[in-house]
Each structure stands twice: as structure tokens, then as C-alpha cells.
């Protein structure tokens, strides 16, 4: 073969290989993930910016239940917590306590300590106490199948918080209802915020806890939404169990800074807690608190997350769960169960909190929920 023809053939092969690589959906957690579609993502970017603008509104009125059964007196609720070091779990537990005081019930919180054995022991203890109802607070009921079966046999209704992937009732495992925002909405808006803030060009790290099905599902949905914009590259997908964030996150962040000193400019975590533990390593790595990387938590919007956001210290945004409102909702759901009614079906609207729209607040809850629940209960 002549040199000129050989050169032309080689160039054609390389060009074809490059075209194939550009169309391929990669899954590497280390070197960046290629995504499908034409270069850039103008349509996706426009949609993302519009969605984020809606989610950042702060004037949304209460759209939850306004009718329901009057308060059933004399009930006792046990809140079984995955771990009280999880700010979302702790926040909703506090909401349950507040609402129980209003409706006239007693509450006990049992901390599972974040380990399978601890959570199983905590739920076993809860069943033994024979309460009126039990909250499954932030853990997978399948991991406590024996204890869940015991509660069902004892006719103790279970209400979950982030217990299964979707809001509403569940048959396997049997939950009267699961209280959460819609995970698809939370995942999509957190990814949309990255797309909108970066104008469709970002190098992203995702932090997740794959041991919790709810969290794993959320991070996979985030990954999928990010992949809708070709020039948003997934650099790494870090699986760090929530109980291990304090010990593992700093060293993982240091490693990421070494691996991606220039490309890493956005992060999404399934829980704000990761950024509390990432901050010292980012600071030690010479990064400014105002970013990059610009970090968004896809839940839960605890007070420390708002403080980091308001002071621009290694977190730029959060998609907060309305933790206190959800605690009140769980009490309302139990009251419906005790009254022989069905669940309310309510799920809070998705919201994005930033320094620009939080007005210095350290939480977010829909307006008017306390008055609405008090009126329903007659309390």
C-alpha cells in the first residue's frame, strides 16, 4: 500500500473511532463519563434554567391537606432512627416531637446508630414497647424484615420517612405511607441546577450511599439527568455510607483534588452531610469556600447546610426536604391510620435554596402547614 493511501486509511479509522467514542455512554467512575447527543445541550439547558427558576421561588402557598379526621387521643409513637447523626432523620424526629405535643401524644426516639445490627435492635425494642405506631426513619425496611413482620402481626401501623423509593403507601414492605418528596423531582432539579449554573459545561462528582435503596435510586437518577447534557461530564461516583462520612469523605475529597485539579467544578450529594465533611479537605486543598467546586445537596436541607450556603462555605445550594413539616405530616398520617382513613397522599413541592433566596434562614418548610394541621386535628 502506498504511504499516502495508508495515511488516509489510518486517519479514516481514527476519525471513525473518535465518532464512536463521542456517541458512547461511558460508566467509568474515574475518567469522566461521555454522554449522548449533539455538542452542547441548548434545549436541555433552557428547560433546566426554567425549572430552577420555578424551584427557587419562595412564595408558594400551602397545597397540602386541609381536611381529615379530628385528633385521636392518647397515642404513643416510637421513632426508630437510622442514625441521629443524619441531619434529615434528626430534623424529622424533631418535627414529630413538635406535632405530637400539639395533638397530645407521647413520642420516644430510639437511635439505630447507623449499623444493621443497631437498627434491627432498635426496631425490635420498638415493637416490644407495643406503641400505637412506629416510624421507620431513614432506613430500608427490607433490612429489618423480621421486625417489620412482628409489627404487622401486632397490628402496629408503620409510617416511613425515606424508607422506600416513592412517597405514599407500600405493600412490600407494608407501610401505611412513606413520607418524602418525590425522589425523581429532587434528583432532576439538583442535576438541573448544575446544568443551569454551569451553562451546560461541568465536571461533576456525585456522592451517594448505595447501602440505602432510596439514596442509591436518587443518585442514579441524578446521573441520568446529568447525562442529558453532553458537556456535563461525570468525573467520579463516590459511594460513602452516611455513617462513614466523617472518616472517609475528607480522604476521598483530597484524592479527587489530586485526580481532577482543574476539571472538578461541581458536586451533587444525596445528603448535605457530605459537604460538612468535605469542607476541611477542600480548604486544605486551597479551594475557596465560594467554589469551585460548587456543591449542591439533593437533601436534606438541615440547618448546618443552610449556614454553609448563607456564608458561602463550600456549599452553594440545597434541595431541602421540609423536615419539620414532614414530621407533622407523619403524625397526621398516623392519625388517619388510627381513624380508619387512608393516607393523605401529600408530597411537598421541590425547592432549591441558595444564599440569594434563603434570607438567612436555616430551614425551609411550606407556608401554612402548622395552621392547616391544627385545624384538621382541632388542636
E strand or H helix at 18? helix 3-23
pLDDT digits (tens, 9 = 90+) for 184-240: 999 999 999 999 999 999 999 999 999 887 789 999 999 999 999 999 999 999 999
Distance CA 358, CA 142 (A): 37
Which range among 12-16, 67-71, 129-133, 288-292 shows the weakest confidence by mean pLDDT?
12-16
What does the buried/exposed string (b/e) look like for 70-89 if buried means 16 or more CB atoms within 10 Å of the residue's CB?
ebbeebebbbbbbbbbbbbb
In a 3-state reduction of DSSP, which class is residue 223?
Answer: helix
CB atoms within 10 A of CB 118: 17
Distance CA 56, CA 148 (A): 38
pLDDT band at 39 (very low <50, low <70, confident <90, very high): low
* pLDDT score of 49 more than 80: yes
Question: Residues 320, 84, 350, CA angle at the centre, nearest 5°?
Answer: 15
Q: What is the pTM of this model?
A: 0.78
Q: What is the pLDDT of residue 12?
A: 40
- Residue 204: name the closest of 141, 273, 293 by CA: 293
pLDDT digits (tens, 9 = 90+) for 321-351: 999 999 999 999 999 999 999 999 999 999 9
Distance CA 287, CA 281 (A): 9
C-alpha cell belonging to residue 194: 448544575
In a 3-state reduction of DSSP, which class is residue 44?
Answer: helix
* pLDDT score of 63 more than 50: yes
For range 134-157, the mean pLDDT:
96
C-alpha cell belonging to residue 112: 439505630
Q: What is the pLDDT of residue 165?
A: 81
The mean pLDDT of the chain is 89
For range 279-292, the mean pLDDT:
96
Amino acid at each position: 500500500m502506498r504511504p499516502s493511501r495508508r495515511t488516509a486509511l489510518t486517519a479514516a479509522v481514527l476519525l471513525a473511532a473518535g465518532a464512536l467514542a463521542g456517541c458512547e455512554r461511558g460508566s467509568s467512575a474515574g475518567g469522566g463519563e461521555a454522554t449522548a447527543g449533539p455538542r452542547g445541550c441548548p434545549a436541555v439547558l433552557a428547560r433546566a434554567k426554567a425549572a430552577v427558576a420555578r424551584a427557587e421561588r419562595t412564595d408558594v402557598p400551602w397545597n397540602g391537606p386541609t381536611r381529615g379526621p379530628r385528633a385521636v387521643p392518647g397515642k404513643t409513637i416510637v421513632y426508630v432512627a437510622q442514625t441521629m447523626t443524619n441531619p434529615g432523620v434528626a430534623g424529622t424526629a424533631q418535627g414529630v416531637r413538635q406535632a405530637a405535643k400539639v395533638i397530645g401524644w407521647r413520642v420516644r426516639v430510639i437511635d439505630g446508630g447507623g449499623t444493621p445490627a443497631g437498627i434491627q435492635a432498635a426496631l425490635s425494642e420498638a415493637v416490644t414497647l407495643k406503641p400505637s405506631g412506629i416510624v421507620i426513619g431513614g432506613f430500608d425496611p427490607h433490612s429489618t424484615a423480621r421486625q417489620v413482620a412482628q409489627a404487622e402481626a401486632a397490628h402496629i401501623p408503620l409510617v416511613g420517612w425515606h424508607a422506600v423509593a416513592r412517597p405514599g403507601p407500600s405493600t412490600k414492605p407494608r407501610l401505611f405511607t412513606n413520607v418524602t418528596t418525590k425522589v425523581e423531582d429532587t434528583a432532576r432539579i439538583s442535576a438541573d441546577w448544575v446544568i443551569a449554573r454551569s451553562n451546560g459545561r461541568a465536571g461533576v462528582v456525585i456522592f451517594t450511599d448505595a447501602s440505602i435503596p432510596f439514596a442509591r435510586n436518587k443518585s442514579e437518577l441524578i446521573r441520568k439527568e446529568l447525562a442529558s447534557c453532553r458537556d456535563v461530564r461525570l468525573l467520579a461516583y463516590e459511594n460513602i455510607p452516611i455513617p462513614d462520612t466523617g472518616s472517609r469523605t475528607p480522604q476521598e475529597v483530597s484524592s479527587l483534588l489530586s485526580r481532577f485539579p482543574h476539571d472538578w467544578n461541581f458536586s451533587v450529594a444525596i445528603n448535605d452531610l457530605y459537604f460538612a465533611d468535605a469542607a476541611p479537605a477542600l480548604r486544605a486543598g486551597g479551594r475557596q469556600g465560594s467554589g469551585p467546586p460548587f456543591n449542591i445537596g439533593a437533601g436534606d436541607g438541615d440547618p448546618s447546610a443552610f449556614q454553609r450556603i448563607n456564608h458561602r462555605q463550600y456549599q452553594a445550594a440545597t434541595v431541602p426536604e421540609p423536615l419539620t413539616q414532614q414530621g407533622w405530616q407523619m403524625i397526621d398520617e398516623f392519625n388517619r391510620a388510627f381513624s380508619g382513613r387512608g393516607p393523605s397522599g401529600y408530597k411537598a413541592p421541590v425547592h432549591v435554596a441558595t444564599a440569594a433566596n434563603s434570607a438567612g434562614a436555616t430551614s425551609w418548610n411550606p407556608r401554612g402547614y402548622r395552621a392547616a394541621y391544627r385545624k384538621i386535628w382541632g388542636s
